[in-house]
Amino acid sequence: MEEKKHKRRVHYSGKYPKKFEEKYKEQNPEKYKETIEHVIAKGSTPAGMHISIMVEEILDFLQIKPGQKGLDCTLGYGGHTRKMLEKLEGQGCVWGLDVDPIESEKTIKRLRDAGFDEDIFKFKLINFANIDKVAEEAGKFDFVLADLGVSSMQIDNPERGFSYKIDGPLDLRLDPEHGESAAERLHNITREEFAGMMIENSDEPYAEEIADKVFSLMRKGKPMDTTTELRQAIENALWKLPSDEKDMAVKKSCARVFQALRIDVNSEFEVLYSFLEKLPGILNSGARVAILTFHSGEDRLVKKSFKELYKQGIYSEMAADVIRPSAEECRTNPRSKSTKMRWAVKS
């Protein structure tokens, strides 16, 4: 039998690791709890981990009781799901959905290791636009959560291409096994379509300038296949801005452009439309629904749907205004700052 070679850990310079692959302690929270606590105390998210947002507010609203049936439309790291499962006290079940085959496999293992077997926690690798198909198998639900944010594990992993701050392939797909990557998308659309995408999906004020620069570079044979190449193109597009404004403007534009591409590549608005349209049909009478949004486009769609269906009498109650994370949560988890929660109750 061939002896298995020992794989050495990645070495890094300086006191603390900087690259994702160097942060092996942060990616092993069970073994290195002190490291995890230290990172969170600094207001950061450990690599490969996701800190669930507005947990207490969600649980306070959902009012989960033992014996109920729930649905977490976006399983992610499983933090919300675990808290909902705990509220069931071993009676009832929660169904979890996700389209990311890479992260969902890890999350399922964490939940199984925590004692949640297939009787109480059920998983389907499916887009939450297809909740009607899930309900055909599961029946109607008593509580539903949809957290529309991208998980920190996806953002931090350079291989997924979600962040302009880290060099990696320009991918941005929630399901990397299907569909076009963001790089492929850029090569298959026109300059006008790209500008329109940035305006519609993220209200980018410099959409025309950025579209001009990106497509000018591609026409000259310059690649636009990595996060760094797109970020540098955005920087070049804004070179005329005053020096005291440029750095912040570039950061904000990079965030908006990557958001616009991510929304487009994953058909996020179309998925949300479909979900909101099918949602009432999967709910029991009195069922409670909470939705977390992270940008104005999502929030407008949720608000409009809840309002229209409330007027029709399909929902008996709805949030009069958004619920925001506390100042303390924003301090300890900066990624929660843009979160808005809306809720509704089925008639």
**pLDDT of residue 179 exceeding 70:** yes
The set of residues, in sequence order, having a beta carbon less than 8 Å from that of 279 and lying 6+ positions away, is 131, 144, 289, 305
Total domains in the chain come to: 2
Residue 215 lies in a domain: yes
Of 222, 241, 265, the residue at which a domain comes to its end is 265
Q: Which contacts (CB < 8 Å, 24+ apart) does range 325-329 have?
A: 325/53, 325/54, 325/57, 329/53, 329/54
195 and 116 both lie in a single domain:
no
Helices (H), the chain: 33-41, 55-62, 79-88, 101-113, 131-138, 152-156, 182-187, 191-202, 207-219, 227-237, 243-265, 268-278, 296-311, 327-332
**pLDDT of residue 183 exceeding 90:** yes
Query: How far apart are the C-alpha atoms of 228 and 225, rounded to whole Å?
Result: 9
pLDDT digits (tens, 9 = 90+) for 210-254: 999 999 999 999 999 999 999 999 999 999 999 889 999 999 999
Residue 236 lies in a domain: yes
CA 312, distance to chain mean position in Å, is: 31
Half-sphere exposure of 138 (CA within 13 A, CB side): 30
From 284, 318, 334, select the one nearest 45 (Cα to Cα).
334
Confidence of residue 49 (pLDDT cuts 50, 70, 90): low
181 and 231 both lie in a single domain:
yes
Cα separations (Å) of 222 from 183, 219, 230, 233, 237? 12, 7, 11, 10, 15
147 and 279 both lie in a single domain:
yes
The CATH number linked to 141 is 3.40.50.150
The answer to whether 280 and 318 are in contact (CB under 8 A) is no
Query: How far apart are the C-alpha atoms of 119 and 181, rounded to whole Å?
Result: 36
123 and 81 both lie in a single domain:
yes
135 and 280 both lie in a single domain:
yes
**pLDDT of residue 20 exceeding 70:** no
CA 17, distance to chain mean position in Å, is: 25
Residue 146 lies in a domain: yes
What is the structure's pLDDT at 9? Answer: 58
Task: Judge residue 31's burial from the number of C-beta atoms within 10 Å of its C-beta, 0-12 exposed, 13-18 middle, 19 or more buried.
Answer: exposed
Of 203, 231, 265, the residue at which a domain comes to its end is 265
214 and 240 both lie in a single domain:
yes
From 156, 165, 59, 75, select the one nearest 116 (Cα to Cα).
75
285 and 229 both lie in a single domain:
no
**pLDDT of residue 157 exceeding 90:** no
**pLDDT of residue 36 exceeding 50:** no
Residue 333 lies in a domain: yes
The CATH number linked to 214 is 1.10.150
Q: What is the mean pLDDT of residues 193-210?
A: 96
The answer to whether 29 and 46 are in contact (CB under 8 A) is yes
Print the domain residue range for 246.
176-265
- Give φ, ψ of 102 to 5 degrees: -75, -55
86 and 217 both lie in a single domain:
no
232 and 296 both lie in a single domain:
no
Pairing between β-strand 315-318 and β-strand 340-346 as defined by DSSP bridges: antiparallel
pLDDT digits (tens, 9 = 90+) for 274-323: 999 999 999 999 999 999 999 889 999 999 999 999 999 999 999 999 99
Residue 20 lies in a domain: no
pTM of the model: 0.82
335 and 281 both lie in a single domain:
yes
Query: How far apart are the C-alpha atoms of 130 and 99, rounded to whole Å?
Result: 11
Residue 289 lies in a domain: yes
243 and 292 both lie in a single domain:
no
Pairing between β-strand 340-346 and β-strand 283-293 as defined by DSSP bridges: antiparallel
336 and 282 both lie in a single domain:
yes
Angle between helices 191-202 and 296-311 (to 10 degrees): 60
Residue 168 lies in a domain: no
Query: How far apart are the C-alpha atoms of 39 and 28, rounded to whole Å?
Result: 13
3-state SS class at 285: strand
Of 231, 265, 299, the residue at which a domain comes to its end is 265
Residue 16 lies in a domain: no
